[in-house]
Amino acid sequence: RAPRIALFAASARRDALSKRLAAACVAPLQAAGADVMHLDLNDHTLPLYRGDEEAAALAQGSLPAAVVALQQVFARAEAFLVVTPEYNGSIPPLLKNTLDWCSRPNPADPARSGGVLYANKPAALMATSPGPLGGMRALFHARDVLGYLNMIVLPQQLAVGRAHEAIAEGKLIDERQHKTMVGICEALVHATFKLGSHP
Ligand code: FNR
């Protein structure tokens, strides 16, 4: 069976550069044997995490419905490929907020919520930026957070600078960069075959 890989850009912007790179990863992931779960975080709008809001929802028996819906998607994923923009030298709040909400245990559905969504699943990271460094700093912060969540973060990573000029027709124009991207997709699928929870 093809391993299910959740792929998403950590931007809700309609024409996001990170979404362009995420889209370019679909074909290489599929070619390597993955069942790609290509998510748009615009379809999963979560409130900003607030403990009081969580407590009020739990008093009604469950986490907020939008959180539960995304947790169910993450629960099905056997690995993650995240393409992040860089905000002030770090990851955007959208990424942290998404990871944080889904890391919360839901007493109504413990098997599909909390740390089990992330633990021991392979993850790969890429970044984009219109600047020359390609969001390199955000990559290291994202790596720290995913590592904290006990994900197996691949050492390979890619930062695509001048991303507004770097991607055309679903491919990275620079051949070496394209090869690196494909290599990361292949490494993630192989790691998921080896380490994933699928039979
Ligand atoms: C940015 N941007 C940015 N770029 C960068 O390379 N390094 C940085 O530290 C920052 N900081 C930053 C902070 C904030 C609050 C915003 C809104 C933007 C620019 C950023 O790379 C650019 O807006 C991208 O287009 C955002 O990514 P998406 O939405 O295109 O994927």
pLDDT tens-place values along the chain, 199 residues long: 899 999 999 999 999 999 999 999 999 999 999 999 999 999 999 999 999 999 999 999 999 999 999 999 999 999 999 999 999 999 999 999 999 999 999 999 999 999 999 999 999 999 999 999 999 999 999 999 999 999 999 999 999 999 999 999 999 999 999 999 999 999 999 999 998 765 4
Residue 195 confidence (pLDDT): 87
Q: Give the count of domains, the chain.
A: 1
**Residue numbers of the domain that contains 151:** 4-41+75-93+115-195
Q: Is residue 30 part of a domain?
A: yes
Q: Is residue 181 part of a domain?
A: yes
| CA-closest residue to ligand 1 atom 16 | 87
Query: What sign has the CA pseudo-torsion 99, 103, 108, 111?
Result: positive
- Closest ligand 1 atom to 17 CA: 30
- Closest ligand 1 atom to 85 CA: 27
Q: Is residue 127 part of a domain?
A: yes
| Burial class (CB within 10 angstroms; exposed 0-12, middle 13-18, buried 19+) of 194 | exposed
Q: Is residue 16 part of a domain?
A: yes
- Closest ligand 1 atom to 11 CA: 29
Q: Is residue 47 part of a domain?
A: no
- Asked whether 18 lines ligand 1 (CB < 6 A), one says yes
Residue 199 confidence (pLDDT): 46
Q: Is residue 155 part of a domain?
A: yes
| CA-closest residue to ligand 1 atom 9 | 88
- Asked whether 93 lines ligand 1 (CB < 6 A), one says no
Measure 86 CA to ligand 1 centroid, in angstroms. 5
Residue 197 confidence (pLDDT): 63
Q: Is residue 152 part of a domain?
A: yes
- Whether the full predicted model's pTM is greater than 0.80, yes or no, is yes
Q: Is residue 184 part of a domain?
A: yes
CATH number at residue 167: 3.40.50.360
